[in-house]
Amino acid sequence: MLLLLCLSLSAAAQNGDDEAEPTLPENVMRHVVARMTNYYFKRARHPRTIHFSNKNLKQEWLPKIKNITFELVDKNTGPIDLKAYVFEIFDKKKNTYIIQFGYGDLRCGAGSGPTWILRITSSGIRLWPDGGLWGWGSSCDSF
């Protein structure tokens, strides 16, 4: 299993486009999304819907949490003022990735949130909040 993970990471890294957002294998993304989503969202007393951008995300990766419905939305087809949570993957250095998780305006790319570190080692997947003071953020004016 670990060999397949390493091979898929190697293949993803050799796509030749340094400007492209790094990609992670589906099994790693499933783990990352489940861990981070369970970290931030706890069961609710009353039913509620939480929107996520469909970029870098599949519905089946989202966990089942009591009274919470996770809904994927597309920035091009959703309401103009729609705000949602996003996962962005940045800065692949060897087997370490920076993952930004945040909330913001999907249309213009504005948002903010914490930064997480993902490291894939021979013993498995390590994922932890960066612990930095500021996290990340952007505004509509910056695009």
pLDDT of the chain along its 143 residues, tens only?
333 334 344 444 444 444 567 788 899 999 999 999 999 999 999 999 999 988 888 999 999 999 999 999 887 776 667 788 888 887 778 888 988 888 888 776 667 788 888 998 888 899 988 876 566 666 665 44
The Cβ-side half-sphere exposure at 122, using a 13 Å CA radius, reads 0
β pairing state of 136-138 and 115-121: unpaired
3-state secondary structure of 88: strand
CA angle 119, 122, 126 (to 5 degrees): 30
Whether the CA torsion 129, 61, 83, 90 is positive or negative: it is positive
What does the block give as tokens for 25? 């294998």
Neighbours of 112 (CB within 10 A): 14
